[in-house]
Amino acid sequence: MKNPKFGRKVFKILTGVIVGSAIGSILGLTLAPKKGSETRKFLKDKSMDVFLRSKRALKENEKIGFFKKWLIKWLTKDK
Domain locations in the chain as residue ranges = 4-76
Q: pLDDT at position 17, please? A: 92
DSSP 31: T
Helix, strand, coil percentages for the chain (3-state, nearest 5): 85, 0, 15
**d(Cα 73, Cα 77) in Å, to the nearest integer?**
6
Q: pLDDT at position 2, please? A: 62
pLDDT at 62 over 60: no
Q: pLDDT at position 19, please? A: 93
Tens of pLDDT along 1-53?
466 677 788 888 889 999 999 999 888 877 877 787 887 888 789 888 888 88
Q: pLDDT at position 1, please? A: 47
Q: What is the dihedral of CA 78, 66, 26, 14, to 10 degrees?
A: -10
pLDDT at 79 over 60: no
6 and 78 in contact (C-beta within 8 Å)?
A: no
pLDDT at 76 over 90: no
| The one-letter amino acid at 11 | F
72 and 7 in contact (C-beta within 8 Å)?
A: yes
